[in-house]
């Protein structure tokens, strides 16, 4: 009862009982789940271990059992596959290769045909244009070359070889001037060299200017040049300063520079002679230049002889006679000889009748002897030089030793009749010593030992001085240069074809070379002392300038022959004979 009472007293609320029951069930469920999870975990671990162990055993057993069989099967499969692949490859090669070759050949053919067509199309399209452009480029190149050549020819026109000879000779001039004046009193050698270079510059400027003038202009001014040269030469004879017993220089006012007017006269007379001979080429072989020298002929036909004298002799030979007389009286015998010889050669080449030519040679010889014997002009100087001339070079009065060469001069001697024979010129003796000491190769530039003894080493005896410093080789080179200059003059002469430029070129070139030859003969004691300078080399002013001007006239004619601007007047050819 008590229990019941307690139950009654403590009887719970139905909802509270349900909550407690649910809580206990939850706890029991959790325990059960935990127990099941632990068992499952344990069971899973044991199962995994058992399965792993079994799988390993099974794998080992399978490997041991299947390994050899699998290897064998793999090898057989590989062999079968390789054989099949090889068979398939061979089949493919035999099947595909011909087709591939065919396709390749067709493709190559198609490409080749297309390329050929494209190339032909490109060639047909581009070829003419490329050809045109190439031709245009070549034309531009030719134009540029012509312009460059024209520019060079405008400055250095004419014969290029002659230009070379002129430049080499001018180089010799500067070397000689400096070396010959090193130990000379009266100014420093540098100042004298600069003075010579100044004249060279003036001369080259004159040459460049003159060689641009057409030769036709020379024909128009020939008489004027001759008259100017004649007047100035006469003035020099009258009022010029006297030097070495002669009046041949004139002073230019204000600048006080001396020049020799007979240099203008020499060029003028050659211009006039060339002009007169050119005018007569049609009839000169049949028309006498000289009247008859027989008085009976004058008595029989005086009018004809007067016509010849007035129309032929005076115009052709008058300028020559006047020039030779003036130079004989004022300048010297050798200059007269050079002018006369040059004019005679021009008359001969100009086709003067041989009968007249022989008469002129005889007349020149007679007049020269008369003037010389009469003592006119500088004949006394010429006679004294000829008397002292000893043309034996080094064959006599020479003593050779191992270390030196002694040359003894010719002493003055008195003949039994009391006439004194002059001794050898000191200048000539010193020139011999210079040449003898030069040897084959010379002493070298600036190494001369006789320049102080040669009073005119840079002028009248320049060639002897050249041999001393440059030896026989140097002397031979200078000689060949002048011969080369004359050879080039002859070549220009032959290219002209017509009389005036041909005779002008021949006369100017011959006059220069004759002067050079006489100077060299004097230097080696094979010709009496003349005072002639070595053209383009000897120190000088007006001589150098006018020589370069004469060469400029030659180069001008040469330039015109190259440009083909020479006239061809009818009946003015030196190479055609007229038979009228």
Q: What is the pLDDT of residues 291-342, one digit of tens each?
A: 888 888 888 888 888 988 898 889 999 999 999 988 888 877 888 899 999 9
Domain range for 122: 17-151
Looking at the structure, tell me whether residues 102 and 205 fall in a common domain. no
d(CA 261, CA 158): 28
Parallel/antiparallel/unpaired status of strands 413-414 and 420-421? antiparallel
Residues 76 and 174 placed together within one structural domain of the fold: no
Residues 202 and 138 in one domain: no
Looking at the structure, do residues 165 and 237 belong to the same domain, yes or no?
Answer: yes
Question: Residue 376 contacts by C-beta under 8 Å, 6 or more apart in sequence?
Answer: 328, 329
CA 104, distance to chain mean position in Å, is 64
In a domain, 575, yes or no: no
Are 417 and 269 part of one and the same domain?
A: yes
What mean pLDDT value characterizes the chain? Answer: 77
Residue 577 lies in a domain: no
> Which long-range contacts link 367-375 to residues 24+ away (Cβ below 8 Å)?
368/328, 368/336, 368/340, 371/328, 372/333
181 and 135 in one domain?
no
DSSP string of 250-299? EEETTTTEEE-THHHHHHHHHHHHHHHHHHTTTTTTTS-SS--S-HHHHH
Token pair, residue 443, equals 């002493």
Q: Which residues contact 47 (CB under 8 A, 6 or more apart)?
A: none
End position of a domain, from candidates 107, 130, 151: 151
What is the total count of domains within the chain? 2
Exposure string for 57-70, b = 16+ CB within 10 A, e = fewer: eeeeeeeeeeeeee
Query: 474, 483 in Cβ contact below 8 A?
Result: no
Q: Are residues 290 and 394 in the same domain?
A: yes
Let me know if residue 26 belongs to a domain: yes
The pLDDT profile of the chain, 580 residues, written as one tens digit per residue, is: 444 444 444 445 555 555 555 566 656 666 765 777 676 677 666 766 776 676 677 657 655 665 676 677 667 766 877 677 677 667 766 776 677 677 778 877 877 787 677 767 766 777 677 777 777 777 787 777 766 666 676 677 778 899 999 999 999 888 888 787 765 555 566 777 788 888 899 999 999 999 888 888 998 999 999 999 999 999 988 887 777 666 777 877 776 777 888 899 999 999 999 999 998 888 888 888 888 888 888 888 888 889 888 988 899 999 999 999 888 888 778 888 999 999 999 999 988 989 889 888 888 888 888 877 776 666 556 555 555 555 554 444 444 444 444 444 445 445 455 444 444 567 777 777 778 888 888 888 877 777 666 666 677 788 888 888 888 999 999 999 999 999 999 999 988 878 899 999 999 999 999 999 999 988 888 888 777 889 998 887 788 999 999 999 999 999 888 777 666 555 555 555 544 4
Are 389 and 427 a contacting pair, CB within 8 Å? no
Tell me: do 166 and 114 sit in the same domain.
no
Pairing mode, strands 405-407 and 413-414: unpaired
In a domain, 2, yes or no: no
Indicate whether 46 and 184 sit together in one domain. Answer: no
Most distant CA pair in the chain, distance = 225
**Residue 578 counted as domain residue:** no
Domain boundary among 116, 134, 151: 151
Q: Does some domain include residue 223?
A: yes
Residue 570 located in a structural domain: no
Residues 77 and 172 in one domain: no
Q: Are residues 179 and 96 in the same domain?
A: no
Residue-wise pLDDT tens digits, 345-360:
999 998 898 988 988 8
The answer to the question of residue 574 being in a domain is no
103 plus 191 within the same structural domain: no
């Amino acid at each position: 009862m008590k229990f019941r009472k307690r139950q009654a007293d403590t009887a719970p609320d139905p909802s509270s009982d349900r909550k407690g029951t649910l809580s206990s069930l939850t706890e029991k469920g959790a325990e059960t789940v935990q127990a099941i999870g632990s068992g499952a975990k344990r069971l899973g671990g044991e199962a995994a271990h058992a399965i792993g162990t079994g799988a390993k055993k099974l794998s080992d057993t399978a490997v041991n059992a299947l390994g050899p069989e699998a290897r064998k099967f793999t090898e057989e499969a590989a062999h079968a596959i390789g054989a099949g692949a090889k068979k398939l490859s061979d089949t493919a090669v035999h099947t595909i290769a011909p087709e591939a070759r065919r396709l390749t050949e067709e493709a190559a053919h198609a490409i080749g045909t297309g390329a050929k067509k494209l190339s032909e199309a490109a060639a047909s399209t581009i070829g003419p244009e490329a050809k045109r452009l190439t031709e245009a480029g070549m034309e531009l190149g030719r134009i540029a070359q012509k312009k460059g050549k024209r520019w060079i020819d405008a400055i250095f026109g004419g014969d290029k070889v002659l230009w070379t000879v002129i430049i080499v000779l001018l180089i010799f001039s500067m070397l000689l001037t400096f070396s010959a004046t090193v130990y000379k009193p009266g100014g420093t050698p540098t100042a004298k060299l600069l003075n010579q270079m100044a004249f060279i510059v003036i001369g080259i400027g004159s040459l460049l200017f003159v060689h641009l003038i057409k030769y036709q202009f020379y024909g128009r001014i020939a008489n004027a040049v001759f008259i100017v040269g004649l007047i100035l030469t006469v003035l020099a004879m009258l009022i010029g300063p006297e030097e070495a017993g002669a009046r041949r220089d004139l002073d230019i006012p204000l600048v006080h520079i001396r020049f020799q007017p007979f240099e203008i006269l020499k060029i003028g007379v050659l211009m006039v002679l060339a002009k007169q001979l050119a005018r007569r080429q049609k009839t000169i072989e049949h028309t006498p230049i000289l009247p008859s020298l027989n008085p009976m002929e004058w008595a029989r036909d005086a009018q004809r002889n007067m016509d010849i004298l007035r129309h032929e002799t005076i115009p052709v030979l008058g300028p020559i006679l006047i020039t030779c007389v003036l130079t004989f009286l004022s300048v010297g015998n050798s200059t007269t000889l050079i002018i006369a010889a040059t004019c005679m050669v021009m008359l001969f080449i100009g086709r003067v009748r041989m009968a007249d030519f022989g008469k002129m040679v005889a007349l020149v010889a007679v007049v020269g002897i008369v003037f010389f014997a009469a003592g006119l002009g500088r004949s006394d100087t010429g006679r004294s030089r000829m008397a002292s001339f000893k043309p034996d070079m080094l064959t006599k009065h020479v003593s050779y030793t191992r270390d030196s060469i002694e040359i003894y001069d010719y002493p003055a001697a008195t003949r039994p009749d009391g006439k004194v024979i002059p001794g050898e010129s000191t200048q000539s003796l010193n020139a011999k010593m210079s040449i003898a000491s030069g040897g084959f190769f010379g002493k070298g530039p600036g190494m001369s030992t006789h320049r102080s003894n040669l009073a005119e080493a840079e002028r009248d005896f320049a060639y002897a001085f050249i041999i001393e410093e440059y030896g026989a080789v140097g002397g031979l080179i200078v000689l060949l240069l002048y011969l080369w200059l004359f050879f080039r003059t002859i070549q220009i002469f032959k290219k002209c074809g017509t009389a005036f430029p041909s005779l002008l070129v021949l006369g100017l070139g011959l006059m220069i070379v004759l002067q050079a030859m006489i100077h060299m003969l004097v230097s080696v004691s094979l010709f009496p002392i003349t005072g002639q300078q070595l053209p383009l080399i000897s120190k000088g002013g007006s001589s150098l300038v006018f020589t370069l001007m004469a060469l400029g006239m030659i180069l001008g004619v040469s330039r015109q022959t190259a440009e083909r601007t020479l006239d061809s007047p009818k009946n003015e050819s030196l190479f055609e004979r007229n038979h009228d």
